[in-house]
Amino acid sequence: VVVSTMVGCAHGIRAVVPTDVPKAIGPYSHGISAGNTVYVSGQLPIDPKTGALLKDASIEDQTRMVLSNIRTVLAAEGLTLANVVSTTVYMKDLNDFGKMNEIDCKSFTKDAPARSCVEVARLPKDVLIEIEAIALLK
């Protein structure tokens, strides 16, 4: 079940609020739809079915869960990872880049999105990875 709420009716901006993703841990929307663009907030490796934080899981498993959560937000707007044009990956340790990259490459088509990846001192809930995405209606 997907609930969309209007944020700025005059500008066609609305929140994307899927019910089958982990609850937001702050005052933000999982996504914002504006015109033909959907902005997906940074997703963490939280299992939406159990609410369990995969904090102690491998970088591979955390990356898979984050991408699954992104897929769910996109699906609320009828989109898939094929609609993603850009991602930003925040990692606790760039030594895990190769392992993350392997999972990321399997998730996107040959026309992978533009991507930035940065190492950060700390992420919410002390996870290893957070990914945000921008998608376009095609």
For the record, the structure tokens of 92 come out as 């606790």
What are the beta bridge partners of residue 39?
Answer: 32, 134
Q: Are 85 and 92 in contact (CB under 8 A)?
A: no
So which residues are the catalytic ones? Answer: 117
35 phi and psi angles, rounded to 5 deg: 65, -125
Q: Are 11 and 35 in contact (CB under 8 A)?
A: no
